[in-house]
Amino acid sequence: MAEFHTISPEQFDKSPFQTIGKDWLLVTAEKDGKVNTMTASWGGFGVMWGKNVAFIVVRPQRYTKEFLDAQPYFSLSVLGEPFRKELSYLGSVSGRDEDKIAKSGLTVAHEDNIPYFEQAKTVLICRKLYAQPYDPACFIEKELDSKWYPNQDYHTMYIAEIEKILIQ
């Protein structure tokens, strides 16, 4: 069993650019006793409405979105370079089609009934505050719309309060 301890968001001293953009996140949630996860490399950490928050963006076709929308909590697990192969797999296959968590060899653990991965070096336990699909009318740089959304599958942005950070 991995030994995690809790730190406050103020003690979290890792670059979000490295953590999200380079290490990548596993966005994980549970619905009706089943867990699903997907890799994400877009998002942010910051402060909103006086709270420490994480935001992520999820396209409508992701199976994980059904899990995110089903209940108030999700986790973000940061595994990094040693697990690049598993992260790539979990980010290219849908949980609709395969039992991808079992096939990945990663181990699901729970903190306050929220699923995360035991192999993570950092885990953020997040409580949803706000969710909104991106609106094409709101793009100031219009090229972003045509570049990233040729199929109009606009991401939903989730802003969530970081309730707990676990590190190994």
Ligand X SMILES: Cc1cc2nc3c(=O)[nH]c(=O)nc-3n(C[C@H](O)[C@H](O)[C@H](O)COP(=O)(O)O)c2cc1C
Task: List residues binding ligand X (CB under 6 A).
Answer: 24, 36, 38-42, 57-59, 62-64, 88, 91-96
User: What residues contact 150, with CB distance under 8 A and at least 6 apart?
Assistant: none
In DSSP terms, 51 is beta-bridged to 48
Which CB, 29 or 109, lies closer to ligand X?
29
Task: Identify the CA nearest to 28 among candidates 87, 98, 97, 103.
Answer: 87
Minimum CB distance to ligand X, residue 8 (Å): 26
Which CB, 64 or 77, lies closer to ligand X?
64
Which CB, 4 or 87, lies closer to ligand X?
87
Minimum CB distance to ligand X, residue 157 (Å): 10
Minimum CB distance to ligand X, residue 9 (Å): 21
Tokens standing for residue 16: 């979000």
Minimum CB distance to ligand X, residue 142 (Å): 21
Q: How far apart are CA 159 and CA 57, in angstroms?
A: 9
Which residue blocks in the chain are alpha helix, DSSP H?
A: 16, 63-70, 84-90, 100-104, 142-148
Which CB, 12 or 44, lies closer to ligand X?
44
